[in-house]
Chain A
Amino acid sequence: MAELSKLYDAIVAGKLEPAVEVTKEAIAEGVEPQVIINDYMVKAMGEVGQRFQDGKAFVPQLLMAGRAMKGALELLKPLLKGNASTTLGKVVIGTVKGDLHDIGKNLVASMLEGCGFEVINIGIDVPCEKFIEAVKANDADILCMSALLTTTMTYMPEVIKAVEAAGIRDKVKIMVGGAPVSQGFATEIGADGYSDNANSAVAVAKQLIGVH
């Protein structure tokens, strides 16, 4: 019988192969994907996020955990299709136009995915129209924007205006983050949420869509 506690341990330790092996065994034994995700994967990513926030783990450990989690999740994805309750919500995430930084954005994407969200990562240097297109195409619940430069964070309000102009502002919550971004800036530009790290981004995202 698959020892699913080893899946938790493997993700926390950032080990891909054992995470994949245990997940394969669990699938073969007919364990519900929901159980694997919610009782082990989400909790493991939560633990890694907490260690990161406490200064006991660093970005390499977060990336390794995300890699192990994604490896296991790939096996479960075919079993989840068509089941609307399998994800907490859909998130479109990207770094705004003019900005090529991606590490913070990718960390947030990994944490959101690891904690049960479906994440559509549309990359860096993203213009308004691409954000809107991705939100519409995926019927996203949340749009996340990242910027690392004071010169590019000013593009965030333009995206929000474009979302309003596209008539979808009431359908999607907007979160912003990145080194120069603050809660004050987020409020000023009309974003719904702000986070200064990958761990708290998950809590903010859950709050925005009413999940606890």
Chain B
Amino acid sequence: MKTWKTNWEESQKRYLDWWNHKGIVLTMWEHFQEGVTPHANVDAPPPAKDLNQRWFDPEWRAKQLNDYVAHSSLMADIPPVANTQLGPGSLAAILGGVFEGGEDTIWIHPDPNPKEDILFNPENAAWKLHKELLTACKKLANGHYYVGMPDLMEGLDILASLRGTDTVLMDTVMNPELLDKQLQQVNDIYFKVYDELYDIIREDDGMAFCYFSIWGPGKVSKLQSDISVMIGEEDYRRFVQPYIREQCQKIDYTLYHLDGVGAIRHLDAILEIEELNAIQWTPGVGEPQGGNPKWYDLYKRILAGGKSVQANWVTLDELQPLLDHIGTNGLLLSMDFHNEKEVEQALEIVEKYR
């Protein structure tokens, strides 16, 4: 790999340390372009003709992402990665959900013909699109950056996307055996899909995951159960934990996305998953962001549970107090950077703790 990121070797070591509950990673989710000297002269695509091209034309998106990364700052530990998102939980589209390109995101509508058995169809158009998009991006990336794994998602979140949230939640009471069966089917298909996409995007053994821009020297995934804010702890242990555990056992480096104050009640069950490496905290709308002192105790609990922490949207003034209170072992700081000057200021602070 001949990446545009000049300090990548150093950053890779930091990511590997972080997965193993050591050190500090200083990065951000996605990238900024303000004041950045381009890494290469690349051809930007013409403006997208419509939303369909904006999201679902592999060649157009490959060019757009190539241009985006070429103009993005890769300072500190910001990884060189192209965000190939195909909507939140694009595995649902592969399993029969329906794509719709919106202004800001891709919506995935429920399967119009939901089935009792969740089956993989190799001829599914969304599946072909995943492969075509990643292949086109990989070709254009030419080793300058990673092509990120789309946010496939898993478990109850995928079933809710396919069959409707109400239906799935009521099945926890009315049809628990059906849910057990479908959840295992989703997991089995997840691994098949994941492995095939991994083989397209891998650089040696390493890869990057789009969501939260994380990198690891093997298979990497962000795992979640956003729907779990609506269920109790007992149901979490039955319908979520076993399937997340299986993912953690089969994927080398795993990050759990804990979303919202209502999800904290499941933290003990999450910490019980021995193979899980790290937990990312998203406070949710109406709450202060990840650098706020309100979350120090949560971070301490995660670290004491043997998992690394990812704190998001940390601001410069929150950085030093956060490090003073949380410590410096196993902390990924996903900063709210807007320009390179801010990165330099953050680096000055972080270097004192390394």
Contacts and interface: CB of A to CB of B under 8 A. Distances in A.
A79 B160 CA distance: 37
Given A102-B165, A103-B165, A63 B285 contact: no
A67 interface: yes
A58 B165 contact: no
B170 A64 contact: yes
Given A14-B173, A100-B109, A60 B284 contact: no
A60 B172 contact: yes
A40 to B, nearest CB: 22
A136 to B, nearest CB: 28
Interface string B98-114: 00001010010100000
Given A60-B231, A151-B104, A103 B170 contact: no
Nearest to A67: B170
Interface string B259-273: 000000100000000
A58 B235 CA distance: 10
B286 interface: yes
Interface in B74-120: 102, 104, 107, 109
Contacts of B102: 98
A64 B173 contact: yes
Interface in A58-72: 58-61, 63-64, 67
Contacts of B125: none
A106 interface: yes
Contacts, number: 42
Contact of A58 (B104, B166, B231): B231
Contact of B166 (A63, A100, A180, A182): A63
B288 interface: no
A41 B233 CA distance: 28
Nearest to B170: A63
B170 A60 contact: yes
A59 B231 contact: yes
B169 A63 contact: yes
Interface string A163-180: 000000000000000011
A22 B104 CA distance: 50
B45 interface: no
Contacts of A102: 165-166
Contacts of A53: none
B225 to A, nearest CB: 13
Interface of B: 102, 104, 107, 109, 165-166, 169-170, 172-174, 230-232, 235, 265, 284-286
Interface of A: 14, 55, 58-61, 63-64, 67, 98, 100, 102-103, 106, 150-151, 179-180, 182
A-B residue pairs, 8 tightest by C-beta: A59-B230, A180-B285, A60-B169, A103-B165, A58-B232, A60-B172, A179-B285, A60-B173
Given A61-B173, A98-B102, A180-B285, 16 more contacts: A58-B232, A58-B235, A59-B169, A59-B231, A60-B169, A60-B170, A60-B235, A64-B173, A64-B174, A67-B170, A100-B109, A102-B165, A103-B166, A103-B230, A106-B166, A179-B284
11 contacts: A14-B173, A55-B265, A59-B169, A59-B231, A60-B172, A60-B231, A63-B169, A67-B170, A102-B166, A106-B166, A179-B286
